[in-house]
Amino acid sequence: MKRAPMHNISIPEPCQQEWDDMDDHQQGRYCHNCQKTVIDMRAMTDGQILSLLSSGGKICGNINKEQLARLNTYVQPAAPRSGLFTSVLRIAAGLAALFSYSAAVAKPAYSTEQHPVAPKRLDILPNADTTSSKVISGTVVDHDKQALVGVSINVKGSKAFATTDAQGKFSLFVNSEDDILQFRYIGFENKELPVRKLRKSRSLTLEMKASVLGEVVVTQVTNR
């Protein structure tokens, strides 16, 4: 049976395990988190990847983001919708907007009073003397200076860790200005930075990885 043309290729959920932490296996490496072989597509041609994906089945791969974007320029675009179908969509959208407006007008006013939120407890170094420990605070952002939420930060060689909040901010107890902070975030390069350097800049920029790991999802064109 002939497969429908491809419309879009993506990796919506990147793998939680780092490539370097995986074991060598066949065409790539073995991921212990998802119990699957991850194929290294970075050295493959676009034609080889498209041929592999067109064979069907679930495939996990390690692919360059530029390569992924280029592949999507090759696949067949979705079939155009009929005029009748488009008209129906416009009418439905108009009705939805009307109902939304009516609901907004009838919606009762709610109190805008804000209540203070207790700050999160700072993570403390095991067996550390908190009277001599110092607090290091900072902000983690991406290349566009957008805050990164949920970045893991830990003191190297210690169990002490923290995560960034909705503004990309964090605070952590350290014993020395020479302590090394390790930053990890899915889809971004890991980074290490001494406390003394972060204290000067107060901000750290993480760079996105050139490649992405995970199950490759192929969306196919469907006939309506």
Q: What separation in angstroms does the CA of 104 have from each of 69, 91, 94, 108?
A: 40, 20, 15, 9
Domains of the chain: 6-77+211-220 (no CATH), 134-205 (2.60.40.4130)
The Cα–Cα gap between 45 and 163 comes to 39
Strands in 169-174's sheet, in edge-to-edge order, are: 169-174, 134-141, 203-205
Q: What Rg value do the Cα atoms of the chain yield, rounded?
A: 24
Q: Give 198's contacts (C-beta < 8 A, 6+ positions apart).
A: 136, 138, 181, 204
pTM of the model: 0.49
pLDDT tens by residue, 161-200: 899 999 999 999 999 999 999 999 877 888 999 999 998 8
Bridging pattern class, strands 134-141 and 180-184: unpaired
Name the E strands within the chain: 6-10, 23-25, 28-31, 36-40, 59-64, 134-141, 152-155, 161-163, 169-174, 180-184, 191-194, 203-205, 211-220
pLDDT: is 174 or 108 the higher one? Answer: 174
pLDDT digits (tens, 9 = 90+) for 74-106: 775 545 555 555 555 565 555 555 555 454 445
**Cα separation, 153 vs 68, whole angstroms:** 30
**214's torsion region: left (phi>0), alpha (psi -120 to 50) or beta?**
left
Can you tell me the distance from the alpha carbon of 137 to that of 202, in angstroms, rounded to the nearest whole number? 7
